[in-house]
DNA sequence: CTGAAAGCGCTTACAG
DNA sequence: CTGAAAGCGCTTACAG
């Protein structure tokens, strides 16, 4: 099958240098401890021989002999390198690549995973997972069972984005949306807003709950009174009525697509954004514009998240599983408020 | 170092199923030839045991035992996943990913390669190259020595883009710029152009020679007479004088950046493009515009190139090195003419 | 039909 | 200080 061009091995180097294969291995790995002390002379001889050959250690053999491989897996449920997904994955992959360079490991993309129902399967008869020392999981939504099984099997992995699809304690690196949401609310409050609407999709993901929770908390403390408006599909039409009935001066939307839809609904109804009503997205806005104004929202450090994920993974890999509980395996990074131009004082129209 | 969570092995499966480890291996690999005939009963028993365990073959061991790994390496001299390089690498990576899915192999990015002078090194003391069955090489310019060594060592690899940095026969997949250039010249000739300028960087890369060669050939046959204008750095100012002195009605530029610079020089000199002088790039134009007009040039199927490269690599991997000479290892794919709006009949101004 | 054995290239105790 | 030996998990002749 494989041509497997016969490569130079330690054995041959040993023959050339007139030493044993063990010695070659020792020299190669700088094993020079209490029990082993190789004189500079032989050491040099071996190095010479290596230099003159094209010798390169066979990573498969190293791996089999118990060393780690410095290979980190990257798993995505969809193709990660397609033009469509680049918008989402691009910054993440970049962060991972940079961190990998620093850590000094290679990246294995599991492109061979069989596709079922349009999604790649992580576990299957011939999972390649174990070729890697550990694995980064990327994707908008992940399979709870997969996460659980990874935890159960004590395979080192880190999810990008906060995860609690399962009761198992999933290592992840995500964004602290609670603080971001709180800060945005504070800013709105400072500007004088007292009555708001929170438009959301009524999802049950961790980040959705984080945001909603903070909105609810605010309602209890009372800075701004929020009406929660759960919408189905993308039908945001009800927001116009709600605006009228509540007299709200500001609308927060769970994500940027939603914010955009809300803006369109307002504009269609002849309601001026942001003068009659302020608008903000509780998500990455990345230069989004609404009626010519930069949308207010968050800036999430995606590259950094991904890089931190790889670093955390590295820590897991070099730590025996029994001590994982000592590690901080659920990290939330700070995002930044992107103030934009769509959050203005109420009654800016008059 | 590595936690190396003890994994289920064939030995344990064997114990569970009450057979020998050899048998497990046989079942796993569907080895059912003339010498081996495993009755459905035992086969089933083994499969059961596997099903109930979390068994997964250790790829390192498989590899060591001589099987291929279904891992293809991807090597780039610069970071491939950075935002800046995405423009160039994006389509290529996408093509590779898609082909990898089809072939059923994983992709190993050699992010661990030590960086020297701002470039990653392919060969170094701990090359991981051999972890992969073969390798795709990506990049604008590659190291001739690297290519030679890969050929010498008979390591399966394929370069993306035509290569002849070395005398060794490098497997590659590239674009047929000769035909594209010829076609563009034919179109210009049909439009009535007789006098032209070819602005180039005087480089010695294969694709540069392909284009220039075709221009020179044209000069010999005589459809259009081209003045070759080699420019240094990006100083295209001489093109204006050359236009005046030759009375050329069309300018071809070696690449799109150059075409853009030439256009700017003309416009600055009050020369109307394309009415006074037509302009075309002998490279990918991808919706580039010159003074509001779509630039004439080529369309190069980058995703397809990359996909073909992976397919060729796969062929190399499964073919013993001795038979590589039977394979067609240097492929040129057809590009397409992107006619655009900057190649018009001469004297369109009058 | 099935298993014991050798071997892939390496590392690491363990004896000299 | 150095080498012979065992072992990592697998495959594949080779004997039963």
> A 66-85 residues with CB below 8 A of B?
66-71, 79-83
A43 close to A77: Cβ distance less than 8 angstroms: no
pLDDT tens figures, B133-168: 899 999 888 888 899 988 888 889 999 998 887 778
**CATH node for A10-64:** 1.10.260
* Confidence check: pLDDT of B12 > 80: yes
* Confidence check: pLDDT of A277 > 60: yes
Which stretches within chain A are classed as H helix?
10-17, 21-28, 40-52, 59-64, 86-103, 144-152, 177-191, 206-221, 238-246, 256-268, 302-318
Question: Binning pLDDT at 50, 70 and 90, where does residue A1 land?
Answer: very low
A99 close to A303: Cβ distance less than 8 angstroms: no
Looking at domain B71-170+304-333, its CATH class is: alpha beta
Q: What is the model's pLDDT at position B300? A: 94
The residue in chain A having the minimum alpha-carbon distance to the alpha carbon of residue B1 is A318
At A13 the three-state DSSP class reads helix
CATH topology identical between B10-57 and B177-300: no
Do B90 and A86 make contact, defined as CB atoms within 8 angstroms?
yes
- Closest CB to B108 among A86, A106, A319: A106
DSSP secondary structure of A173-242:
EEE-HHHHHHHHHHHHHHHT--EEEEEE----SHHHHHHHHHHHHHHHH-SSEEEEEE--TT--THHHHH
Do A3 and B63 make contact, defined as CB atoms within 8 angstroms?
no
pLDDT tens figures, A138-163: 988 888 889 998 898 888 999 999 88
What is the Cα B185 distance to its own chain's centre?
26
**Cα dihedral sign for A161, A164, A166, A167?**
positive
Q: What is the model's pLDDT at position A41? A: 82
A159 close to A172: Cβ distance less than 8 angstroms: yes
Nearest Cα to Cα of residue A330 among A134, A197, A191, A161: A161
Nearest Cα to Cα of residue A296 among A244, A250, A332: A250
Can the peptide bond before residue A75 be classed as cis, meaning omega within 30 degrees of 0?
Answer: no
pLDDT average, residue stretch B177-202: 95
* Confidence check: pLDDT of A33 > 70: no
Q: How far is residue A127's CA from residue B58's CA, in Å, rounded to a whole number?
A: 10
Q: Which CATH superfamily is domain A71-170+304-332 in?
A: Response regulator (3.40.50.2300)
Do A154 and B5 make contact, defined as CB atoms within 8 angstroms?
yes
Question: Binning pLDDT at 50, 70 and 90, where does residue B4 land?
Answer: very low
**CATH node for B10-57:** 1.10.260
Token output for A125: 């008869």
Question: Binning pLDDT at 50, 70 and 90, where does residue A255 land?
Answer: very high
Which of B305-340 are b and which e, b meaning 16 or more Cβ less than 10 Å from the residue's Cβ?
bbbbbbbbbbbbbeeeeeebeeeebbbbeebebbeb
Q: How far is residue B81's CA from residue B118's CA, in Å, rounded to a whole number?
A: 16
Nearest Cα to Cα of residue A197 among A271, A268, A141: A271
A2 close to B317: Cβ distance less than 8 angstroms: yes
The neighbour count for residue B346, using CB atoms within 10 Å, is: 22
Domain ranges of chain B: 10-57, 71-170+304-333, 177-300
Q: How far is residue A132's CA from residue A68's CA, in Å, rounded to a whole number?
A: 9
pLDDT tens figures, A195-223: 999 999 988 888 899 999 999 999 998 88
* Confidence check: pLDDT of B127 > 80: no
Residues with CB under 7 A from strand C: A 6-7, 9-11, 21-22, 25-26, 28-29, 31, 35-36, 55, 57-58, 61-62, 64-67; B 19-23, 35-39, 42, 61, 64-66
CATH of B177-300, one of 3.40.640.10, 3.90.380.10, 3.40.50.12780, 3.40.50.2300: 3.40.50.2300
pLDDT tens figures, B227-257: 999 998 878 889 999 999 999 999 999 999 9
Q: How far is residue B145's CA from residue B137's CA, in Å, rounded to a whole number?
A: 13
């Amino acid at each position: 099958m494989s041509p497997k061009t016969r490569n130079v091995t330690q054995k041959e180097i040993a023959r050339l240098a007139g030493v044993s294969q063990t010695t070659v291995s020792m020299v190669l790995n700088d094993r020079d401890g209490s029990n082993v002390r190789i004189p500079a002379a032989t050491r040099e001889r071996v190095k010479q021989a290596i230099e003159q050959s094209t010798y390169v250690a066979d990573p498969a053999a190293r791996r089999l002999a118990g060393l780690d491989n410095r290979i980190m897996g990257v798993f995505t449920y969809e193709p990660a390198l397609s033009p469509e997904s680049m918008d989402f994955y691009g910054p993440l992959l970049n962060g991972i690549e940079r961190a990998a360079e620093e850590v000094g490991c290679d990246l294995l993309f599991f492109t061979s995973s069989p596709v079922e129902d349009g999604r790649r399967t992580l576990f299957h008869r011939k999972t390649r997972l174990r070729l890697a020392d550990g694995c980064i999981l990327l994707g908008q939504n992940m399979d709870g069972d997969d996460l659980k099984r990874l935890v159960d099997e004590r395979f080192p992995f880190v999810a990008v984005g906060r995860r609690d699809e399962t009761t198992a304690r999933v290592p992840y690196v995500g964004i602290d949306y609670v603080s971001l949401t709180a800060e945005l609310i504070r800013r709105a409050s400072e500007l004088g807003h007292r009555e708001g609407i929170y438009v959301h999709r009524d999802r049950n993901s961790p980040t959705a709950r984080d945001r909603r929770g903070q909105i609810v908390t605010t309602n209890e403390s009372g800075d701004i009174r929020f009406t929660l408006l759960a919408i189905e599909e993308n039908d945001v039409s009800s927001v116009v009525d709600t605006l009228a009935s509540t007299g709200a001066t500001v609308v927060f939307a769970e994500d940027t697509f939603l914010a955009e839809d809300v803006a369109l609904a307002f504009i269609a109804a002849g309601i001026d954004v942001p003068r009659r009503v302020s608008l903000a997205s509780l998500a990455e806005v990345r230069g989004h514009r609404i009626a010519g104004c930069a949308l207010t929202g968050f800036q999430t450090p995606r590259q950094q998240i991904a890089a931190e994920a790889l670093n955390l993974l590295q820590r897991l890999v070099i730590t025996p599983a029994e001590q994982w509980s000592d590690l901080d395996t659920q990290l939330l990074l700070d995002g930044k408020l992107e103030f934009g131009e769509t959050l203005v004082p109420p009654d800016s129209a008059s």
